[in-house]
Amino acid sequence: AQRVTQPEKLLSVFKGAPVELKCNYSYSGSPELFWYVQYSRQRLQLLLRHISRESIKGFTADLNKGETSFHLKKPFAQEEDSAMYYCALSGFSGNQFYFGTGTSLTVIP
Amino acid sequence: ETGVTQSPTHLIKTRGQQVTLRCSSQSGHNTVSWYQQALGQGPQFIFQYYREEENGRGNFPPRFSGLQFPNYSSELNVNALELDDSALYLCASSYDRDQPQHFGDGTRLSIL
């Protein structure tokens, strides 16, 4: 079955500390992986997608097909990174989407 | 914030009723997807429309149906409402099926 798992519902880190939000997936095929973010009182928005291989707001994510993971990382957390983060997966044809349950990140000043 | 707009913002219905939720996509976005987000959960994919045809569907019963119109607007219709249908319903549109999705603020549906 297709599934996206985010094992941490809540994550707190101190400002300046490294942060890693975990995401594991199960999919029979070649998926496309995404991270979406929702800041307080804002709508859900795309943070990054694995095919772009870019760093957005200092965040990176590497697709590890062997471990079926797509963890989101940032070396130095900032207070403005506090938000809800969702890992998501789509099929190659882009007509099926699966979201994880989300991780609420709090960066402590 | 402009872009994808959804209406109404909130809606209260009773069991057994029918509801229509509306979404206005950005001009040029030929793909729209609908999601159901229960409290404390991630969005669950309901279905996707591409150029006015259903293009993909999640694990939702047929009483969830949709329409997409040439003017970049779309609808989500739910018949025979059940208590478990209480959720935030999100609309997301994109220029094409493989392009990033832009989400609306959602419609909060409560079933009494």
For residue A56, the tally of other CB atoms under 10 A from its CB is 15
Please, what is the average pLDDT of chain B?
94
pLDDT in tens, chain A (109 residues): 789 999 999 999 999 999 999 999 998 888 899 999 999 999 999 999 988 878 889 999 989 989 999 999 999 999 999 999 999 999 877 778 999 999 999 999 9
For residue B35, the tally of other CB atoms under 10 A from its CB is 25
**Residues of B whose CB is below 8 A from A46:** 100-101
Cβ separation B42–A102 shorter than 8 A? yes
Q: Decide if B35 contacts B92 (C-beta within 8 A).
A: yes
Q: How far is residue A12's CA from residue B70's CA, in Å, rounded to a whole number?
A: 45
The DSSP annotation for B92-111 comes to EEESSTTSPPEE---EEEEE
Give mean pLDDT, residues B63-91. Answer: 96
Instruction: Provide the 3-class DSSP secondary structure of residue B77.
Output: strand
Residue-wise pLDDT for B33-70, tens only, equals 999 999 999 999 999 999 999 999 999 999 999 999 99
Cβ separation B56–A93 shorter than 8 A? yes
Q: What is the pLDDT of residue A77?
A: 97
Q: Which of B10, B18, B4, B29 is nearest to B89 (CA)?
A: B10
Residue carrying structure tokens 């001009």? B27
Mutate to test the interface with B, among A95, A96, A104 (most CBs of B within 10 A): A95
Q: What is the pLDDT of residue B36?
A: 98
Q: What is the pLDDT of residue B27?
A: 86
Q: Decide if B6 contacts B105 (C-beta within 8 A).
A: yes
Q: What is the pLDDT of residue A52?
A: 81
Q: Give the gap in angstroms from C-alpha B28 to the nearest C-alpha of chain A.
A: 18
Residue type, A89: L
Residue-wise pLDDT for B12-36, tens only, equals 999 999 999 999 998 889 999 999 9
Distance (Å) of CA A29 to CA A51, A62, A90, A91, B48: 15, 18, 10, 7, 20
**Residues of A whose CB is below 8 A from B45:** 96-99
Q: Decide if A19 contacts A42 (C-beta within 8 A).
A: no
Q: Decide if A31 contacts A52 (C-beta within 8 A).
A: no
Cross-strand bridge partners of residue A23: none
Portion of chain B with pLDDT greater than 90, in percent:
86
Give mean pLDDT, residues B72-91. Answer: 97
Structure tokens at A66: 């062997």
Q: Give the gap in angstroms from C-alpha B98 to the nearest C-alpha of chain A.
A: 5
Query: What single-letter DSSP state applies at residue A94?
Result: S
Q: What is the pLDDT of residue B2?
A: 61
Q: Which of B34, B23, B105, B107 is nearest to B72 (CA)?
A: B23
Q: Decide if B37 contacts B86 (C-beta within 8 A).
A: no
Among A45, A93, A100, beta carbon nearest to B42: A100
Q: Give the gap in angstroms from C-alpha A104 to the nearest C-alpha of chain B.
A: 11
Q: Decide if B15 contacts B82 (C-beta within 8 A).
A: yes
